[in-house]
Structure 1
């Protein structure tokens, strides 16, 4: 394995000179710099990234914390951020927190020790004080953090209103909601949007709201039970697309036709919604833009630039597909 000493010998310079060229620190005249670069190329020398990170207090890596990597929503965000960060010379360390505060803290502490340059976090636990206690910049994705911590998300309550109003427009007269975890802010906001629309209806009751925990299997179970107990439900707004897929499964097991017997709409806009039968209507987030803009802001912070905005909200789009659009109005 080629060492820095080999490069110094090949270029007929000192090890310190090679180090200055590699780290772009200190003065090296152009002719000497060119000799060192040519020696590096001839010997195919690969600098020790760990040693460089210890020396420069940086690693050209970005930490990315997500709650559940098995949910296709999060890999889509990660991919968008990764595409931009790779172009800027950064690599991603992906961490799955399982919504556990202890795992989040452990990951952040390790990132601090490893001189990770910045962190993109999807967290429901981090506070402004915790974020500011770390030396590396942190931006929030999907779930805002209090205060002036940069965040990138959508208006979840408005999305809940949009989904529920659409079900009413196509003729649904009794609409249920499969909500996400109570401790997750965006799940609560989507639930509030649903209540904004139907809370004053004569048929509305708390029994129409069940917890699917952002999980397809759980949503299948609770939706099946709900539709059996209240067979006059003709519309379901699921708080995310994975739970909406669970509702489709529950309807299939109960031999209900979607959308003729019950219309279904989800939230997020993951690719799987176009691959189901019927295709799933959803409130779609601009996932590529959200992930990219978060990555861009983080790089700006790493490089010492000020952000013009800290709270960034992105527009939502109602995607009308087969799980709703062929329903006959009553």
Structure 2
């Protein structure tokens, strides 16, 4: 492997001069810079990233922490973050936390030791107390866990309203809601949107709200129990598409038919919803745009730590598929 000393020797300059050219710091005459750059080209010299990170205090590394890599929403989100990171010359690191505060804190500690330049975090368990000592920029994505951080998300409450209103339009008489994890900000926002539409209905009861924890199996079990106890339910707004797939399985096992007996709407708009039988009506988030904007915001803050924090909220749209009855 070619060393910086060999580059300096070939160019007839000091190692310090080569370092100034590489790091674009300090004055180097145009003629000398040209000689150094030609030597780098001729020798095919590749700077040592570890050494450069120690010198500059930068690693050109960005990490994304997600709670459940098995949920297809997060790989789709990660792809957009990775694309933007790569386009700006950053190495991308994906960390799966399994909804565990212990794993999240362990990752935060390890990533700081590796001089990560910035973090994008999806979390239901972290708080501002956990991140106040982190000395690199952080963007919260999809869920808000610290109001002092820049945040990128979709309009969860409006999306939930769209779902509940659509179920009413197609003449569902009793509409239940399957929620996500208790501490997730988007769980509460989606529940509030549902309540905006149904709380004043004569039939409404909080018994129609149960948790599926954004998990397919937990949602399936919860929905089977709910429908056995409340057979009058003929509409389900399910807090994400993974739970929507669980809902379809639960109803199949109960020997009911979708959408003849019950209509289902999910949330996220992941590709999974196009592969289920029947296909899943959903409130679609612009997943790629959300991840891309989070990465762009983070890089802006890495380059200028003094820029104001901001919240970016994307609109959502209802996509009708086979799991809901047709409008009359």
Q: TM-score range by the shorter chain?
A: over 0.9
Asked whether the 8 Å contact 1:119–1:137 carries over to 2, the reply is yes
Q: Which residue of 2 aligns with 1:35?
A: 35
In structure 2, C-alpha distance between the alignment counterparts of 1:300 and 1:165, rounded to whole Å: 39
1:214 to 2:214 alignment: yes
**Higher mean C-alpha displacement, 225-234 vs 131-140:** 225-234
| Number of residues of Structure 1 aligned to a counterpart in Structure 2 | 328
1:169 to 2:149 alignment: no
Asked whether the 8 Å contact 1:145–1:151 carries over to 2, the reply is no
In structure 1, C-alpha distance between the alignment counterparts of 2:153 and 2:46, rounded to whole Å: 39
Deviation at 1:85, TM superposition (A): 1.8
Deviation at 1:157, TM superposition (A): 2.1
Asked whether the 8 Å contact 2:170–2:326 carries over to 1, the reply is no
Unaligned runs of 5+ in 2: none
Q: Which residue of 1 aligns with 2:111?
A: 111
Deviation at 1:137, TM superposition (A): 0.7
Asked whether the 8 Å contact 1:66–1:96 carries over to 2, the reply is yes
In structure 1, C-alpha distance between the alignment counterparts of 2:191 and 2:147, rounded to whole Å: 23
With over 3 angstroms needed to count, the CA separation of the structure-2 counterparts of 1:325 and 1:29, relative to structure 1, is: farther
Question: CA offsets per residue over residues 78-98 of structure 1, 9 Å max, x none?
Answer: 211221221111121111111
In structure 2, C-alpha distance between the alignment counterparts of 1:70 and 1:44, rounded to whole Å: 41
Unaligned runs of 5+ in 1: none
In structure 2, C-alpha distance between the alignment counterparts of 1:308 and 1:170, rounded to whole Å: 44
In structure 2, C-alpha distance between the alignment counterparts of 1:89 and 1:128, rounded to whole Å: 29
Name the TM-score, length of structure 2 as normaliser.
Answer: 0.94
Q: Over aligned residue pairs, what C-alpha RMSD do you find?
A: 1.8
Asked whether the 8 Å contact 1:148–1:310 carries over to 2, the reply is no
Question: CA offsets per residue over residues 217-254 of structure 1, 9 Å max, x none?
Answer: 11112212222333232111101110001001112222
Q: Which residue of 1 aligns with 2:9?
A: 9
**Higher mean C-alpha displacement, 292-301 vs 304-313:** 304-313
In structure 1, C-alpha distance between the alignment counterparts of 2:45 and 2:191, rounded to whole Å: 56
In structure 2, C-alpha distance between the alignment counterparts of 1:196 and 1:263, rounded to whole Å: 20
In structure 2, C-alpha distance between the alignment counterparts of 1:314 and 1:16, rounded to whole Å: 48
